[in-house]
Amino acid sequence: MLNTHDPMTSEEKKAYLLLKSVIFHYHGLDEDEQKILDQTAEELDAADELKWANSFIAEDYFSAFDRARTYLNGIVSQLDRDRRLYYLDMVWKANNRKGYITEMEATAMLKLAKDWDVESDLITMVRR
């Protein structure tokens, strides 16, 4: 599995924060989700990357997921399988931390997992 101490590039930070943010925005961002995003950006020293992700989503809220999906597929396709799965797993866990995962959020993550060829791995992880 991925060594979580491997440093993230700025592009990976952008992609990870966009992934997390677009999933949280899927049903409308709430205060708890915003706190999780802010905390993640602080932990990663990625305030600029979070601003970028927020601007990306704000450009057109209604098409944000589809645009993010296209963007993420370009970035994530360059990462190894463990890293792709790691990012989805971290977003899944962040959703659990807020106390719930909506069906829409789960479906969005499964679509991305399928795009990234880690769908069965994510399902296995989630079932544990």
pLDDT digits (tens, 9 = 90+) for 99-112: 888 898 999 999 99
| Structural domain includes residue 83 | yes
**113 lies in which domain range?**
10-127
| Structural domain includes residue 45 | yes
| Structural domain includes residue 90 | yes
> Which residues fall within 8 angstroms of residue 73, CB to CB, at 6 or more apart?
115, 116
| Structural domain includes residue 3 | no
What is the pLDDT, as a whole number, of residue 2?
40
| Structural domain includes residue 1 | no
What is the pLDDT, as a whole number, of residue 99?
83
| Structural domain includes residue 36 | yes
Q: Is 120 helix (H, G, I), strand (E, B) or coil?
A: helix
The 10s digit of each residue's pLDDT in 37-62 is 999 999 999 999 999 999 999 999 99
What is the pLDDT, as a whole number, of residue 119?
95
| Structural domain includes residue 100 | yes
State the total domains in the chain.
1
Residue 122 sits in a domain whose CATH number is 1.10.3680
What is the pLDDT, as a whole number, of residue 5?
52
Give alpha helix (H) positions in 1-128.
Answer: 10-25, 31-44, 47-59, 64-76, 81-97, 103-115, 119-127
pTM of this structure: 0.89
| Structural domain includes residue 49 | yes
CA 70 to chain centroid, in Å, comes to 13
